[in-house]
């Protein structure tokens, strides 16, 4: 349980820093027409995107530890606090002003996370049927297909729809990671490779990860970071929480259900109020870094 909490908070920090770097890179890269996989290839030429992607990779490994030991509703609400991390780092390192609303949002996030952490019970193993394994793969493929027409939308509608799909895809990676079979500790993962390669959930995780990265990067080019990030946060927290409770046996501690619901709501709501802190332009970053020096 303690290891899961460390993993979830570590993932939030990595995602918080990485999202700003990826947003800057996406804004400085030629805009994609429709949903173009070549956008990712262009972004890979940017050091900001590479560092952000590396942080996402570390964050994913930490979240993998978390989802294997804690309920999804707890892990995803903690990961949503990455927006609070972005706000705090912007205030400390880049001297971005925190408004009164922002400060209230930070307090709300912290209170929500404390409540979620207190209410979360240790994860328990449940049987996952073959149909559920295939279901998460089908869902990931469906998101990939749905992203194609959404990629043709421009402006706020395009940013919001692609952000929502990215959130669902990130949520699918969390669900898939939770459903992976066997013991995935460093000491045993090599012995589990054969089972992993035979399991459809493994491929669902890979597909959902690519869909999430591509749709979010495209969403950042369609509108503001807030327009892309707000639906992402909602979808990547609520959808996995529902799946965890209905299919994977996630439960709060006995008698703490109302605390879990309240904490989850506060954490996600507070994070959404801080979404604007991804609105960092190149000019702002240069000016702010110069001020720090």
pLDDT tens profile 166-197: 999 999 999 998 888 766 565 566 666 777 88
Please state, in angstroms and as integers, the Cα–Cα distance from residue 9 to each residue in 2, 110, 199, 288, following that order.
11, 12, 29, 26
Distance CA 140, CA 173 (A): 9
Give the number of domains in the chain: 1
Distance CA 179, CA 173 (A): 10
Please state, in angstroms and as integers, the Cα–Cα distance from residue 136 to each residue in 145, 182, 188, 208, 213, following that order.
14, 17, 24, 9, 18
Tokens coding 152: 């043709």
Tokens coding 131: 């149909």
pTM of full prediction above 0.85: no
Strongest mean pLDDT among 53-67, 137-151, 238-252: 137-151
Tokens coding 142: 């469906």
Which of 12-21, 32-41, 59-68, 127-136 shows the lowest mean pLDDT across its residues? Answer: 32-41
Residue 127, Cβ density class (10 Å: 0-12 exposed, 13-18 middle, ≥19 buried): exposed
Domain membership of residue 153 as a residue range: 2-292
pLDDT score recorded for residue 168: 95
pLDDT score recorded for residue 79: 85
Distance CA 123, CA 212 (A): 26
DSSP secondary structure letter of residue 95: -
What is the average per-residue pLDDT within 237-262? 86
């Amino acid at each position: 349980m303690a290891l899961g909490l460390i993993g979830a908070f570590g993932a939030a920090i990595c995602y918080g820093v990485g999202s700003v770097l990826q947003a800057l890179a996406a804004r400085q890269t030629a805009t994609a027409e429709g949903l173009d996989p070549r956008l990712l290839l262009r972004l890979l030429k940017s050091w900001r995107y590479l560092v952000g992607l590396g942080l996402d990779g570390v964050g994913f490994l930490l979240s993998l530890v978390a989802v294997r030991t804690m309920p999804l509703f707890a892990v995803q609400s903690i990961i949503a606090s990455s927006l609070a991390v972005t706000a705090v780092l912007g205030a400390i390192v880049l001297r971005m002003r925190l408004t009164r609303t922002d400060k209230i949002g930070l307090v709300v996030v912290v209170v929500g996370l404390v409540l979620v952490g207190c209410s979360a019970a240790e994860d328990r193993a449940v049987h996952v049927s073959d149909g559920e394994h295939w279901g998460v793969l089908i869902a990931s493929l469906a998101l990939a297909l749905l992203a194609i027409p959404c990629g043709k939308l421009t402006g706020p509608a395009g940013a919001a729809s692609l952000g929502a799909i990215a959130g669902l895809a990130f949520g699918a990676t969390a669900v898939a990671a939770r459903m992976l079979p066997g013991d995935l500790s460093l000491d045993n993962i090599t012995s589990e490779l054969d089972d992993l390669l035979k399991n459809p959930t493994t491929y669902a995780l890979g597909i959902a990860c690519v869909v999430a990265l591509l749709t979010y990067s495209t969403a950042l080019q369609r509108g503001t970071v807030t327009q892309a990030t707000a639906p992402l946060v909602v979808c990547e927290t609520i959808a996995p929480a529902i799946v965890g409770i209905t299919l994977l046996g996630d439960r709060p501690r006995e008698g703490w259900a109302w605390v879990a619901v309240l904490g989850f709501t506060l954490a996600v709501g507070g994070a959404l109020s801080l979404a604007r802190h991804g609105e960092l332009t190149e000019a702002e970053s240069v000016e702010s870094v110069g001020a720090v020096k």
